[in-house]
Amino acid sequence: MADKNFVVDKDKCIGCARCVKDCIAYALALDENNKPYLSKDGENRCISCQHCMAVCPVGAISILNKNPENSDPVWNYNPDAVLNLIKSRRSTRHYKSENLDAETLQKLKDMLNWTPTGCNFHKLHFAFVEDKDIMDKIRDYVNKKLIKILTGNIANKIKTKFSHYKDALVNGEDVIFRGAPHMVVVSAPINAPCVNIDPVIALSYFELYANSLGVGTCWCGFAHICMQLFPELAIQMKVPHGYKIAYVMLFGKPDIKYSRTTQPEPFEFTTVKDFTIQKLSITQKIKHFFINNIR
Ligand SMILES: Cc1cc2nc3c(=O)[nH]c(=O)nc-3n(C[C@H](O)[C@H](O)[C@H](O)COP(=O)(O)O)c2cc1C
């Protein structure tokens, strides 16, 4: 286990013990002068979440060689503005055929480092297609391959999945990548505690931040399927050994403007009002297992 380098500025520390209280790993304790320390055991348990540094009201704690002065202050947010951002993001399927500027691309990449991961595993891989000419090569390759399969005689699962889109593809429509100049392909290590969830959280954050910068995005199930169908395409994403591709998001400058939000039908919501344990039959238990573990 790497050294966590937990350092307390004892002149600044006010002995409030907030760091001890907020440590999920129970790795910190207070010494006889009410100053926190990380024990040898704690060193092994620490998950490097940096809560100790973030919660300290006086910036007295450094961990992992991070200087608390380099952290950003925490702002208050306008909840209406956040809600409007959530409501007004749309799946963008019309893009300007131009690259985003380097500064915007860098902002989008930097933000990703703050997305949460289960157990603070903090290992994800993002393959960015930053140049629309490369994206054009990818779309040409995939679209041609799909057309060949869809117009050929051999029945296979690709034909079934994409049959509705045959005519559009043959007519030259970019059904898969929607003319997007960029895409990001996210992968997670197969041994990550939350291998299926972490990448989706990252792309959800990406989508909202991108939209706040005026960048359109689209979750792309089709491109994800293509990554699975055409391994030669997936290999181009330089996914590290032991990682699996989780999802794909298209993005770029939108060539469409939405004037208002949608008005979705409400999902189902339940308020849990009591807690009375019911004895389950073996059939109910088996049914529960299958409903919750399949797919
Ligand atoms: C997991 C997921 C996969 C999706 N895959 C595609 C896709 O392959 N192509 C596409 O055009 N839209 C795709 N979408 C976009 C949905 O069709 C879209 O979210 C839905 O129609 C609602 O529209 P809105 O996102 O503008 O609110 C996907 C959305 C999600 C959440």
Over the stretch 267-286, which tens digit does the pLDDT of each residue have? Answer: 999 999 999 999 999 999 99
Positive or negative, the CA dihedral 69, 70, 72, 74 is negative
- Please state, as a whole number, how many other Cβ atoms lie within 10 Å of the Cβ of residue 267: 5
Q: Is the beta carbon of 95 within 6 A of some atom in ligand 1? A: no
Torsion of CA 68, 74, 28, 14, to 10 degrees: 70
Residue span(s) of the chain under CATH 3.30.70.20 come to 7-70
Pocket lining: 165 vs ligand 1, CB cutoff 6 Å: no
Which region, left, alpha or beta, applies to residue 167 given φ > 0 means left and ψ of -120 to 50 means alpha? alpha
Quick one: which of 189, 184, 195, 276 has its CA closest to 224?
184
- Give 94's DSSP letter: -
Ligand 1 midpoint to CA 38 (Å):
46
How many Å lie between the centroid of ligand 1 and the Cα of residue 167? 20
Contacts of 178 (CB under 8 A, 6+ apart): 92, 93, 94, 95, 218, 220, 250
Span from the CA of 91 to the centroid of ligand 1 (angstroms): 6
pLDDT, one tens digit per residue, over 132-165 is 999 999 999 999 999 999 998 887 878 888 889 9
- For residue 258, give every residue at least 6 positions away whose Cβ sits within 8 Å of its Cβ, in sequence order, or none: 88, 90
Q: Degrees (nearest 5) of the Cα angle 44, 48, 52?
A: 105
Q: What is the reported pLDDT for 294?
A: 67
What separation in Å is there between the alpha carbon of 45 and the centre of ligand 1? 40
pLDDT tens, position by position, 199-246: 999 999 999 999 999 999 999 999 999 999 999 999 999 999 999 999
Q: Is the CB of 106 under 6 A from ligand 1?
A: no
**Using an 8 Å Cβ cutoff, are 128 and 105 in contact?**
yes
- Ligand 1 atom showing the smallest separation from residue 247 Cα: 1
Q: Of all atoms in ligand 1, which is nearest to the CA of residue 225?
A: 8
Topology at the third CATH level for domain 81-252: NADH Oxidase (3.40.109)
Q: What mean pLDDT do residues 103-123 have?
A: 98
Query: Which atom belonging to ligand 1 lies closest to the Cα atom of 222?
Result: 8
Look up the CATH architecture of domain 7-70. 2-Layer Sandwich (3.30)
* Residue 159, pLDDT score: 84
Q: Where are the beta strands (DSSP E) in 211-285?
A: 216-219, 243-252
Of 143, 218, 295, which is best to mutate to test ligand 1, by the most ligand atoms within 8 angstroms of its C-beta?
218
Q: How far is the CA of 217 from the centre of ligand 1 (A)?
A: 10
The pTM assigned to this predicted structure is: 0.93
116-130, 150-164, 171-185, 195-209 — which is least confidently predicted?
150-164
| 86 phi/psi in degrees, rounded to 5 | -65, -45
Mean pLDDT, the chain, integer: 96
